Amino acid sequence: MAGARRERILILCKTYPSPSEKHAETSCVAGMTADGKLIRLFPVPFRLIRDDQQFKKWQWISAQIYKANDDRRPESHKIYVDTIALDGAPLSTARDWEVRRREISKLPLFTDFAELDRQREADGITLGLVRPSKVLGLDITAVDQAEWTDEELRKLVQHQQQAGLFDDDDARAFQTLRKLPFAFHYRYECEVGGETRSYRHKIADWEIGALYWNCRNRHKANWERPLREKIEQKLPSADLMFLMGTIHRFPDQWLIVSLIYPPRSRTDPPFQGEFVL
């Protein structure tokens, strides 16, 4: 473990898993250290982690990590999965997210996405927290191919069958990850000195995928309305913030990797959502 260190990390993000040639299905995990610095952990084969090491959003963990040599983004690290230790239960939402608010208040908060991108150009940062002033709506777009290709399925299965992960019976019983048949993009505005700027970014958070499948299972063909109610109404009526991160292969392209939505306080500006129902 040369160059490794043990770090305590508050988990703020898990992206929806994708097939990988080297790592089976992987997620990008992001969080913050105890001193308020954002950090990215990739790859994390989350569904292959032992049950007693499975962590949740808003949960502190500790683990041995080291700087990723093949990823120039300064926040990017690799993790020794077998060193993960859970550090208590996920942080409470009591008293209007008092404990959670206290932690995320340590992070810089951008009120305009363009300001965050300028910081990328100037200082190389590739993770940041943005608070939009207005949510315009959610774009739901069918992907080109709704099912995994044969090659993608091969990637999902091959590493699960290698020694040390599963025996033969476990491998046969393992249910492969379902591909999301839609892409979800937030359209939103930021106000800067009286100027309104409009943006559109894809939501890559694990939660949007889980929400889609839950709505599909419960509401069948009528899944879209409850999903929109959650994403276009309930979340923007809170103090909605986006944890944004860049794509490794395309370092100037950003995704919304996590949605953070503490309840609004009396001092928060009024909600200005617009909905497409």
The dotted CATH code for 108-143+180-260 is 2.40.50
- Mean pLDDT value of segment 77-104: 96
pLDDT at residue 1 in the model:
62
235: DSSP letter: H
The dotted CATH code for 5-86 is 2.40.50.140
The most confident of 24-28, 47-51, 253-257, by mean pLDDT: 253-257
> Token pair for residue 40?
């990215």
- pLDDT tens by residue, 147-170: 878 887 776 666 454 433 333 443
Q: Is the pLDDT of residue 174 over 50?
A: no
pLDDT at residue 168 in the model:
42
Task: Tell me the C-alpha distance between 202 and 254, whole Å.
Answer: 8
**Residue 257 burial (C-beta neighbours within 10 Å; 0-12, 13-18, 19+):** buried
Task: Tell me the C-alpha distance between 203 and 184, whole Å.
Answer: 6
Among residues 206, 205, 188, 207, the alpha carbon closest in space to that of 197 is found at: 188
Q: Where are the alpha helices (DSSP H) in 202-245?
A: 206-219, 224-228, 235-237
From-to residues of CATH 2.40.50.140 in the chain? 5-86
Residue written as tokens 């940062």?
Answer: 125
- pLDDT tens by residue, 189-241: 999 989 999 999 999 999 999 999 999 999 999 999 999 999 999 999 999 99
Tell me the backbone φ, ψ of residue 58, rounded to 5 degrees. 70, 20
